[in-house]
Amino acid sequence: MNIHTYEKFWLIGAMVLIVAFIATVTYGAAGLGIAMVDDEGGTIAPDEIGDHDKFGDPGVHQVGENEYDVYVHAYTFGYSPDTIEIPENSEVTFYVTSSDVTHSFTVVGTNVNTMVIPGEIAEITAQFDEPEEYGILCNEYCGFGHHDMEAELHVVPETEFDLTELAVDAPDEVDTDDQAQVTASVTNGMLEDLDTTVTLEIGNETVEEDVTVAGDSSEDVTFAVDASTLGDGDHDWTVTVDDYTESDQLTVGTDDDGDSDDGDTTEEE
Amino acid sequence: MSSATEQTEADTSHEIGHDEYDPIGTLTLIGLYFVVLVLMWFYTYFIEFLGNDPTVIGSVVTAGGIV
Amino acid sequence: MSTYVDNFPEEAAIVRKAFYTSFVFLALGGVFGLIQTLHRTDFLRFMDSADYYTVLTAHGVFLVIAFTIFFLVGVFTWAVTTSLDRGLEDLRLTKLWFGLMSAGGLAAAITILSGFVGDAPILGALDADVLFTFYTPLEAHPLFYIGLVVFVIGTWVAGADWIRTWWSWRKDNPNERIPLPTFMVITTMIMWYIATLGVAIAIIVFILPWSLGLVESVNPLLTRTLFWYFGHPVVYFWLMPAYMMWYLLLPKLAGGRLFSDPLARVVFVLFLLLSTPVGIHHQYLDPGISEGFKFIAMTNTMFLLLPSFLTAFTVVASMEHGARQNGGTGYLSWLGALPWRDPAFTGMALAGLMFAAGGFSGMVNAGMNINYLVHNSLWVPGHFHLTVGTAVALTFMAGAYWFLPQLTGNKLWSRPLAVGQTVIWFIGMSFMSNAMHRAGLIGMPRRTAEPQYENFGFDAGVGSVAELDAQIALGGALLTVSLLLFFVVIAMTAFNGDSDYTESNSIPTPLSGPEDAPQVLDNLKLWTILAIVLVIIAYSLPLASIIDGRGLFGPGIEPFDPIPFSVVSTTLELTAEHVTGVIR
């Protein structure tokens, strides 16, 4: 077959280009460590997501000194959690799945971009060094609310980052001569111990207690509040640990209309 | 189909056969295209793509990481 | 020496019907495209954003399925009959396949358009707001899937019609090489049979039964993979007819001869072999498919660049031959000796030029890890508006300027307007596609009604998002103007009854003819078997792995109605309100 010399040059040139393209991509993979999302993430049926150990309560977990796992549940039309906070200088692995249709999990302005297919778990790891706020969007059409589907990723300075949670258990009412127990449960999701102070403000009083919560565990701090020092009436209270607060109201005094300790609702004298 | 060479349009053209034809213009254009492709590829891969980090670097196997 | 309609009046009638049907879909698809550019850039929103996805489904299906394929079946009918110099074997078969394509296309079109009528009786339930890719678990009405299947079966029968005609010619001409145009049609159709197998299985075995409620669940990754098995080769089903026109018509229009028949055969054989085992490059970011399979898809895809690279040389060399025969000289100044006043030539030349740019963004798309940068961003539509949107669509429009006179015996009405039409298309697409590529690089997504988000924006680097949006809207407007011009010229030509067109329906002999092509190139059985083997290698393990992990029918994945009619007022109502509001 007759191939003109010039076309032979071009044939060689074309092959050089093809090989160069493959080589560049291979360099990115083998040389720079860029990896494709693949089948390592495993599978999960959509109706198992709610009961799942991690996807059932999606969020950030620390799994190593600067390593974090983030479980994300994508759905029509949003992400849970809708704000993901991670510290600077961390290696983050996202596990993303969908309970309904195919979405994407795409961090805008980065190469963190994956399909999220119901039945599959997409597992991708990336290194986040600088503090930054990123948007997350869905770029795979998923229905009428597709364009409203967004979330945020905040990379915060290390000093601002914690995995602390606060839950408070307190009664709504207490009798005048009784004591109210206000229990603050402080959970520390980091691997390192958390040394902090729990503060209760109620009425005019402020009570503090220092507490050390070990890594990946929880401590309860209970404040005993004398109702008599507060007096009858409604009292707002606030429990604070670091930047987390819980507030509510405590009502002191017997209830005139309801049952009292005396058991007798009518006043005869 | 049966052979058909020159058509009805007014032609001041002359025939160039297979052996006399030297497509140097094509070589020029395709050489230019080659250069453009190389430059555009380098720009797109090394500046646009690699400059758009963070990039996905692989799944880390940790104790709690595999479902 | 006479026109096509003189030689083959009955086939010409079918080809005309095919072209006019194709143009109706082009018109509708084009209007929807304009609406999209205005809506997503927030220049003009007169409908609910949920309806955008109905518009987008229509735009995609009408243009890349209906417009392209109705046009190419016309071109292929012309090519086979012209090159074999005989009519189709049995015109009843021809009318059957055309009828099937029309019925299927109409059914699918009705379901898509009914997305606009909300909860109107009967029609309201038919919707198909699933986009051209119809990924599960998004669900359309069963009639949508049935329409697509019937349409594809129509194309299968068309292939049989042409192959039968070729076989009967072969009996009468036992030792001759397959004429190049017929060779191109047959290789394209074999590629198409192999390619449509995947989507046919996806629909017939899984999606249609599921949408009818016969099966409760599907495996979304499986149906997606079967779609993309088809979704890549379909682009070659569009490109190969365009290439055919560049190889056969462009040299003639330029006043020259095809540089090499053998290389043209090599190119088409390469497309037959490599078009299908590459589909996973559309799934680089899918979980559930290993990196090894993705790498194999990439290597196959990169080699698929070769036939296009070869085409670039051969086609340009053929044009240069015409230019030099017309007195052109020098390294580049010969370009001036080309017939730029001939709209068929100019359109195809500009389409080819634009394809060179589209080819580059295609090379980027073929890259595995660089896909993180561009996947599902506006870069992707930027790419395919250069390729199917110009290399194919503009070539088809330009080709129509040559075909229509051949099919009607009427001269082309207004060559200057037709040339203007092609140039405006090129300019409009340059604006729109360039802006789409740039917007994609900064993270703007595709396939969305409102790329404006509450909690973040896009960082444009150079320029601004507003400037990019303006170029997209401007480009869309120019493309619409170009389309209007096209339809004016076509309509006036069709009715230009008293003009006398006598150019003959013939192609000059190539500089290097079929006698220089090794016999093995015509061994279509060999190439077909090899193509099937390559597909089995590329797909058996990935499919097995997908089915193994998640089951043939998936883990309880139910249908999802993307746009329940309760969500939106009907577009017609809203539009009426807006319009009467304006008039009042």
CB-CB contact of C510 with C260 (8 Å): yes
Q: Among partner residues A15, A34, A102, which is closest to C135 by beta-carbon distance?
A: A102
Bridge-partner residues for C249, per DSSP? none
Distance (Å, whole) CA C576 – CA C562: 24
Cβ neighbour number for residue C558 with a 10 Å cutoff: 16
What pLDDT, on a 0 to 100 scale, did the predictor assign at position C549?
A: 82
E strands present in C39-167: none
Cβ within 8 Å, pair B27-A114: no
- Contact between A177 and A108 under an 8 Å Cβ cutoff? The reply is no
Task: Judge: B30–A128 Cβ closer than 8 Å, yes or no.
Answer: no
- Any chain C CB within 8 A of the CB of A247? no
Residue C499's pLDDT is what?
Answer: 77
Q: How far is A35 from chain C (nearest CA, A)?
A: 7
Interface test with B, best of A65, A71, A123, A129 (most B CBs within 10 A): A123
d(CA A182, CA A223): 5
Q: Chain B window 7-36: which residues touch A at a Cβ cutoff of 8 Å?
A: 23-24, 26-27, 30-31, 34
Query: Any chain B CB within 8 A of the CB of C127?
Result: no
Nearest residue of C to residue B12, measured between CA atoms? C326
Structure tokens that stand for A8 in this block: 């032979």
What's residue C119's pLDDT? 79
- pLDDT value of position C582: 42
Closest to B59 (Cβ–Cβ): which among A4, A52, A123?
Answer: A123
In a domain, B14, yes or no: no
- Decide if C550 is catalytic: no
Tell me what pLDDT residue A269 has: 42
Mutation target to probe the A interface, by most A beta carbons within 10 A, among B32, B59, B66 is B59
Q: Note whether A6 contacts B65, CB cutoff 8 Å.
A: no
Helix (H, G, I), strand (E, B), or coil: what is residue C3? coil
Question: Positive or negative, the Cα torsion across C51, C218, C222, B67?
Answer: positive
CB pairs under 8 A between B and C: 97
Q: Clarify whether C385 is annotated catalytic.
A: yes
The answer, yes or no, to whether residue B63 has pLDDT greater than 60, is no
Can you give the pLDDT at residue B12? 59
pLDDT at A204: 87
Q: Cα(C546)–Cα(C174) distance, rounded to whole angstroms?
A: 47
The beta strands (E) that lie in C65-136 are given as none
Higher pLDDT, B9 or A77: A77
Say whether A42 and B67 touch across the interface (CB within 8 A): yes
Put simply, whether the predicted model's pTM sits higher than 0.95 gets the answer no
pLDDT at C566: 63
Distances (CA, A) of C576 to C35, C40, C112, C581: 16, 21, 20, 8
How many domains does chain B fold into? Answer: 1
In the stretch 29-48 of chain A, residues with CB closer than 8 A to chain C read 29, 34-39, 41, 43, 45-47
Mean of pLDDT over chain A: 93
- Give catalytic status of residue C236 as yes or no: yes
pLDDT of C496: 85
Is the Cβ of C313 closer than 8 Å to some Cβ of chain B? yes
Task: For residues A176 and C35, give the distance between their C-alpha atoms in angstroms, rounded to a whole number.
Answer: 70
Contact B44 C312 (CB under 8 A): no
What CATH number should be reported for the domain holding residue C253?
1.20.210.10
Alpha carbon distances (Å) from C136 to B31, C297, C490: 45, 23, 40
3-state secondary structure of C518: coil
Query: Which pLDDT score is estimated for A260?
Result: 47
Q: Which ranges of C367-498 would DSSP assign to H, the alpha helix? A: 371-374, 379-386, 393-408, 415-441, 465-494
pLDDT at C581: 53
List the single best residue of A8, A48, A101 to mutate versus C (max C Cβ within 10 A).
A101
Cβ neighbours of residue C560 under 8 Å, at least 6 residues apart? A76, A100, A101, A143, C137, C138, C139
Q: Which long-range contacts (CB under 8 A, 24 or more apart) does A259-267 make?
A: A261/A175
Q: With a cut of 50, list the residues of chain C below it in pLDDT.
A: 582-584
Q: In CATH, what class is A39-160? A: mainly beta
H, E, C per residue of C185-214: HHHHHHHHHHHHHHHHHHHHHHHHHHHCCC
C316 near B CB under 8 A? yes
pLDDT band at B3 (very low <50, low <70, confident <90, very high): very low
* Exposure string over C401-410, b if 16+ CB within 10 A, otherwise e: bbbbbbbbbb
Q: For residue A101, which residues of chain C lie inside 8 Å, CB to CB?
A: 135, 137-138, 220, 560, 562
Q: Is residue B6 in some structural domain?
A: no
Residues contacting A66, CB < 8 A, separation 6+: A87, A89, A90, A91
Q: Output the CA–CA distances (angstroms, integers) from residue A86 to A58, A66, A196, A215, C354, in the order listed.
A: 14, 10, 20, 17, 45
For strands A78-80 and A67-75, give the pairing. antiparallel
Residues 37-76 of A with CB under 8 A from B: 37-38, 40-42, 44, 52, 54, 61, 63-64, 67, 69
Say what the alpha-carbon torsion angle C478, C483, C484, C488 is, to the nearest 10 degrees: 140
Under 8 Å CB pairs connecting chains A and B tally to 100
Any CB–CB contact under 8 A between C556 and chain B?
Answer: no
Chains that touch C (3 or more CB pairs under 8 A): A, B
Catalytic residue among C52, C229, C236, C431: C236
Q: C528: part of which helix (H) or strand (E)?
A: helix C524-550
- Angle CA C207–C212–C218, to nearest 5: 35
Pairwise CB contact (< 8 Å): A111 & B64: no
Which pLDDT score is estimated for A1? Answer: 80
Token output for A20? 């160069």
SS3 assignment for C232-263: CHHHHHHHHHHHHHHHHHHHHHHCCCCCCHHH
Contact B56 A35 (CB under 8 A): yes
Model pLDDT, residue C568:
58
Task: Enumerate neighbours of A (3 or more CB pairs within 8 A).
Answer: B, C
d(CA C465, CA C460) in angstroms, rounded, equals 6
pLDDT mean across residues, chain C: 95
Query: Which of A13, A21, A35 is the closest to B57 by Cβ?
Result: A35
Asked if residue B62 belongs to a domain, the reply is: no
CB within 8 Å: C506 and B15: no
Q: How confident is the model at residue B2 (pLDDT cuts 50, 70, 90)?
A: very low
- Residue A267's pLDDT is what? 47
Integer Cα distance of C244 and C208 in angstroms: 35
Interface test with chain C among A36, A38, A43, by most C beta carbons within 10 Å: A36
Provide DSSP, A199-265. EEEETTEEEEEEEEE-TTEEEEEEEEEEHHHH-SEEEEEEEEETTEEEEEEEEES--SSS--TTS--
CB contact under 8 A, B45 and A20: no
> Is C295 annotated as catalytic?
no
CB atoms A42 and B26 under 8 Å: no
Q: Is the pLDDT of residue A265 over 50?
A: no
The DSSP call for residue C175 is T
Q: Is C396 annotated in the active site? A: no
Handedness of CA C118, C39, C397, C364 (dihedral sign): negative
Superfamily of domain A164-252: Immunoglobulins (2.60.40.10)
Which residues of chain A are in CATH 2.60.40.10 domains?
164-252
Closest C-alpha to A136, from A123, A117, A149: A149
The verdict on a CB contact (< 8 Å) between A7 and C314 is yes
Instruction: Return the C-alpha torsion angle C462, C466, C472, C475, nearest 10.
Output: -90
Q: What distance in Å separates the CA atoms of residue A205 and residue A225, rounded to the nearest whole number?
A: 10
CA–CA gap between residue C271 and residue C1 (Å, rounded): 33
Q: One of C232, C257, C321, C375 is an active-site residue; which one?
A: C232
What pLDDT is attached to residue C550? 87
Query: Does residue C508 sit at the B interface (CB-CB below 8 Å)?
Result: yes
Residues of chain A contacting C138 with CB distance shorter than 8 Å? 101-102, 141-143
What is the residue-wise DSSP string for C432-467?
A: HHHHHHHHHHTT-BSS-S----SS-----SSS-HHH
The confidence band for A29, taking pLDDT boundaries of 50, 70 and 90, is very high
Residue C98 is a catalytic residue: no
Question: What are phi and psi for residue C526, nearest 5 degrees?
Answer: -60, -50
pLDDT at A238: 95
Pairing of strands A60-64, A67-75: antiparallel
pLDDT of residue A120: 96
Closest CA to C255 of B14, A27, A143: B14
List C62, C384, C426, C431, catalytic entry: C384
Closest-CA distance, B3 to chain A, in angstroms, reads: 21
Closest CA to C282 of C389, C365, C361: C365
Please tell me which of the candidates C320, C372, C506 has its beta carbon nearest to residue B25.
Answer: C320
Domain that holds residue B37: 22-49
Cβ separation A112–B55 shorter than 8 A? yes
The gap from C-alpha C2 to its chain's centroid, in whole angstroms, comes to: 31
| Count of structural domains, chain C | 1
Q: Which regions of chain A carry the CATH code 2.60.40.420?
A: 39-160
Q: How do strand A83-87 and strand A150-156 relate by DSSP bridges? A: parallel
Task: Give the span between the Cα atoms of C185 and C73, in whole angstroms.
Answer: 10
pLDDT on residue C583: 35
Tell me, what's the ipTM?
0.94
**Residue A256: its pLDDT value, please?**
55
| C237 catalytic residue (yes or no) | no
Can you tell me the distance from the alpha carbon of C195 to that of C158, in angstroms, rounded to the nearest whole number?
15
Domain range spanning residue C577? Answer: 4-581
Phi first, then psi, for residue C232 (nearest 5°) are -85, -50
Contacts with C356 from chain B: Cβ below 8 Å: 33
At A86, which helix (H) or strand (E)? strand A83-87
